[in-house]
Structure 1
Amino acid sequence: MKLTATAMNAQAFADSAAELLTQGGDARIILDPETGLNQYFSQPRPSDAIAYASSTANDISAPAFDHGCRRIAEIAPDLTLSPDGYAEALERLRHRIRASYNLAEDVEIVFSPSGTDLEYVGLALAKEKAPGGIRNILLGADEVGSGCIYSARGQYFAKQTARDIAVAPGEPVGGRIPEKIELTNVPVRDDLGAAWRPESVAEEVDRQVIEAKAEDRHTVVHVVHGSKTGLVLPSLEHIDALAAKHGGAVSFIVDACQARITTQAIHDYLARGCTVLLTGSKFMGGPPFSGFALVPRAAVEAAALMPIAFCKIFRRGEWPDNWPDVDLLPRESNLGLLLRLEASVFELERFQALSIERVERVVLAFHAAVRKAMVERLGGRRIAPYAPGERAEGDAHPIEMRTLSTIDISHMPGQPDFDEAKRIHRALVDHGVRLGQPVKCVRLPDGRWGGTLRVGLSMPQVTAFDALDDAALEAQFERDMTTVADALEKVISA
């Protein structure tokens, strides 16, 4: 017999909600039975850890968890939801997202189990635009999700889909997704970790598009807006130039999956016909994993038929009603994904209610505290999220570039390389500290990847810290960063 929310006590219902947060995705959110953590060392309930890990994955905040429990109790008191109820709940989320970003009704929204799955949306939009197939250009493959090198090729990236269907990583999705998908990586940093200038990146993209046109391929360019290290490439001016030169031979997908992006930037991209990909599990502060794509209605109306293979990945309610042949998708519900989305949009709404001035106050205090602890005290090197000499870019993009610091730790004692940084990252968890995962962005003299760690702020942290006055805010960040630095010294010297 199923229990309703009224028959359960509050703790039992909260336990059920926490379990739901680990369902309806892939193996990345399944908990280790020994630790109670997922593979990113986060848990599906509020935590007391000192966590600045929003570049990788978050623990759900207490307010968001409470909101999620209330929402699930309202629409699925017995922890089941009909397909129609699922579609209705997602439509409500669409309205809330549009309101949060002040988007017009003609912006369609596709929901996804993760940012990696969002890559399939771009392929669905481009799959029949040229007889020779697709050239998919990633800017800095190491600066985006690791599974994207599979999904951007039209391949499965995990051993199971969000519909719990067994697949093999690297196996083609097939079913109206063309086999002719060529993935090209355009590097965005040199071996020392310095970002290439935007014009250099744009020149290489232009060369790639010209080459693809000669092969009758359509080019999909992945714009990065807030990469794993905070880069924004190429610029709007370069996007405009590429579009003017190549017309319908090129389309743009904006990888803003870190969600470190302003409302104005989203509007600028959508006005140019770009599709914008975001996730709720990074800066937005929701639990892993959820995502959504903002797609101009004109792009949806021009799309070819829904790929049949998407039946293994997506559910009907997750796609707009006007997507061609959308009804082939199975009418099911995914209560776990819905709960994760509810938490993420809840955090988005709270953050968007703050003025940019109040947000910048918190962000700059965070940025100063990280520099003091990680650079001045420990001797780490901050990997700049802009090209040398372009510090003004950081000032112009505080959300993208000041809420996340990538710290090169390869010059600290023991000269940690990338593999050692992964050990350090894991060991910090035992000291009550969670940071963002290491990222490959700097080379050692012998060619190995150097060790890095990432320190990231999240929307729920900004919302909470906004309540502090300047002195209390500075003191809070100093306490937190001192704890982080103390733990890092212990782990590195162990």
Structure 2
Amino acid sequence: MVAAYIGEPDRQTLIESHAGLNAEFFSSLSGDISPDSLFNQLIEALTSGGDARLVLEAETGLNRYYSAPYPRDVIAFASSTANDISRPAFDHLLAKWAAGTPAYSEWLDDLRSRIRSAYSLSRNVEIAFAPSGTDLEYVALAAVAGRSAGGIHNILLGADEVGSGCIFSAHGRYFAETTARGIATTKGDTVEGLETVSLIDIPVRDAEGTALSSRQCVERIRQQLQQAQAADRFPVVHVVHGSKTGLILPSSHDLAELASEWKDRALFVVDACQARMHEDVAAQYLDLGCIVFVTGSKFMGGPPFSGVALIPRDLVEKAAPLPAGFRKIFRAAEWPSSWVGGDDLADEENVGLALRLEAAIFELERYVAIPPADREAVIALFRECVSQMVSANLGFEELLPHHPDEPERGERHPTAMRTLTTLDVSNLDQAPTFAAAQAMHRQLVDHGVRLGQPVKCIRREDEEWAGTLRIGLSMPQISMLARLSSSEAKNLLEEDLARVARAIQRLG
């Protein structure tokens, strides 16, 4: 293995160099937590080993998504964007930090075992880790690099609904000014070894904002597959299991047909980065030969950011050596040991990533331990309370997570996907447009309310995008609510969502 680059501090460096954080950061700190030395060391570690999105602003103690790596007493239904860490997960990390963290490679191997257990995956599934969901795009490109003389044709489904940085990483380019290894790069420059990647975006909505049907989606994917074949480029097809607005495209049936038709001639990647899926769904996609992307910072409820790629072993065995540019982005332990070229990556630790993953998998394990019937009951209560306390109360329409002519898909929409509701708030004087809704989203934070960011998904008559907001439940919230009686859970949800509605009314 190559010598470590200077970039990510190890645990001892974090402890020795810690200069303390501004106490004003913690005005909303949850409960009886005291921001002592151990607390501050953990916060500094949790915000290391990523890109600028992890940085806490000096004025607020929050990152650019208004979330924090410490528990806070705020009303938050923002799992579609970013979470504050839960108190149980934070306590879990504090105990682990105080006891001394394990060696990085051992820690990640343990996390791999726990992920396989939670998702009921076999040992034939390899797992790679990434500093964020955006970095996961590089995994798919590495899996097929060199397979065709003309390079790779990356077919991205719904770029507006999967993350803004993905249009760079999916194109084989750097998406930030600094990588998670602390190495300076130029945003938009090609990652060395990924020079021949073309990218096409297939919108998941038409010009009016209506979601495509599964069949429409398949037709557009098939056109791109044929174009890639004609150009002697190996196609990578990104499908979505849970976009920013809860879309699943194409349907599982249609994806299975496509994957069978193009077996060994294309790679299908399931973007399940929201992680709103039943624990047996990942295995179903993997059985089709797909790579599955999940992140720990959305529905799982972990702190920003962390990424997990679930990869069929045969893809790893057939893969070319990792691109040279990956030495600027990844550490050796983050890749399956059998992937050729992994030994050329830096033999160093990313304590921040390991901690963020630890928190996310802790939440995943708590969630899957809840009986499915209890989860479903909590989610049904959430849906009922959102509709009554917010949508009906304020006259908002709830966006359909499917094409209007596919009501049967709505009836079969997975339970975990029902934890997210996208609201059309354009009837408000202060949020008629997407830009105005963005401003309201920021203002809600000052009122102690965090919701999911607006998404461009509804077209107004004047051709502008309408204002939206998203309300999402997280795994830690479900774990907490499932411990309560039905009446207690309903009362708590009604109280919190009533506060959300009042805050919106004050601003609207």
* Structure 2 letter corresponding to 1:370: V
* Structure 1 letter corresponding to 2:127: I
Structure 2 partner of 1:258: 274
Q: Is 2:145 aligned against 1:120?
A: no
Matches within 5 A, 1:73-472: 73-76=98-101, 85-174=103-192, 176-177=193-194, 179-414=195-430, 416-472=432-488
1:197-236 CA-to-partner distances (Å, cap 9, x unmatched) read: 1011001111111111111111111010011011111122
Say which SS state the counterpart of residue 280 (structure 2) adopts: helix
Q: Are the counterparts in 2 of residues 360 and 398 from structure 1 also a CA contact under 8 Å? A: no
Counterpart CA distance in 2 for 1:346 and 1:414 is 39
User: Larger deviation: 248-257 or 47-56?
Assistant: 248-257
* Structure 2 letter corresponding to 1:123: L
- The 3 A distance-change label for structure 1 pair 435 and 415 is closer
- Alpha-carbon offset, residue 484 of structure 1: 0.3
Identity of counterpart residues, as a percentage?
50
Matches within 5 A, 1:467-482: 467-482=483-498
- Alpha-carbon offset, residue 395 of structure 1: 3.8
User: Larger deviation: 65-74 or 21-30?
Assistant: 65-74
- Alpha-carbon offset, residue 98 of structure 1: 0.7
1:108-163 CA-to-partner distances (Å, cap 9, x unmatched) read: 11011000000000000011111111111111111101100000000011111000
User: Larger deviation: 381-390 or 451-460?
Assistant: 381-390
- Alpha-carbon offset, residue 190 of structure 1: 2.5
Counterpart CA distance in 1 for 2:209 and 2:503 is 25
32, 52, 60: which one pairs with 1:35?
60
- Alpha-carbon offset, residue 63 of structure 1: 0.5
Counterpart CA distance in 2 for 1:408 and 1:318 is 40
- Alpha-carbon offset, residue 490 of structure 1: 1.1
Q: Are the counterparts in 1 of residues 116 and 122 from structure 2 also a CA contact under 8 Å? A: yes
Say which SS state the counterpart of residue 286 (structure 1) adopts: coil
Q: Is 2:83 aligned against 1:58?
A: yes
Counterpart CA distance in 2 for 1:441 and 1:382 is 12
Q: Are the counterparts in 1 of residues 425 and 469 from structure 2 also a CA contact under 8 Å? A: yes
Gapped regions of structure 2 (runs ≥ 5): 1-11, 21-33
Counterpart CA distance in 1 for 2:502 and 2:166 is 35
Moved over 4 A (4+): 1-4
1:236-292 CA-to-partner distances (Å, cap 9, x unmatched) read: 222232233333221101100000011221111010111100000000000000111
Counterpart CA distance in 2 for 1:100 and 1:264 is 9
Say which SS state the counterpart of residue 76 (structure 2) adopts: strand
Say which SS state the counterpart of residue 283 (structure 1) adopts: coil
Counterpart CA distance in 1 for 2:221 and 2:35 is 54
Say which SS state the counterpart of residue 109 (structure 1) adopts: strand
Q: Are the counterparts in 1 of residues 455 and 468 from structure 2 also a CA contact under 8 Å? A: yes
Counterpart CA distance in 2 for 1:405 and 1:289 is 22
Structure 2 partner of 1:485: 501
Q: Are the counterparts in 2 of residues 117 and 151 from structure 1 also a CA contact under 8 Å? A: yes
Counterpart CA distance in 2 for 1:348 and 1:394 is 25
The Cα RMSD (Å) is 1.7
Counterpart CA distance in 1 for 2:411 and 2:343 is 46
Structure 1 partner of 2:47: 22
1:435-463 CA-to-partner distances (Å, cap 9, x unmatched) read: 01111111122222111111000000000
Counterpart CA distance in 2 for 1:477 and 1:210 is 49
* Structure 1 letter corresponding to 2:158: G
User: Larger deviation: 394-403 or 427-436?
Assistant: 394-403
Counterpart CA distance in 1 for 2:186 and 2:135 is 15
Q: Are the counterparts in 2 of residues 403 and 458 from structure 1 also a CA contact under 8 Å? A: yes
Say which SS state the counterpart of residue 128 (structure 1) adopts: coil
User: TM-score scaled to structure 2, two decimals?
Assistant: 0.92
- Alpha-carbon offset, residue 342 of structure 1: 0.6
- Alpha-carbon offset, residue 11 of structure 1: 2.5
Gapped regions of structure 1 (runs ≥ 5): none
Q: Are the counterparts in 1 of residues 390 and 498 from structure 2 also a CA contact under 8 Å? A: no
- Alpha-carbon offset, residue 414 of structure 1: 4.3
- The 3 A distance-change label for structure 1 pair 286 and 401 is same
Q: Are the counterparts in 2 of residues 422 and 438 from structure 1 also a CA contact under 8 Å? A: yes
- The 3 A distance-change label for structure 1 pair 194 and 170 is same
Counterpart CA distance in 2 for 1:160 and 1:10 is 29
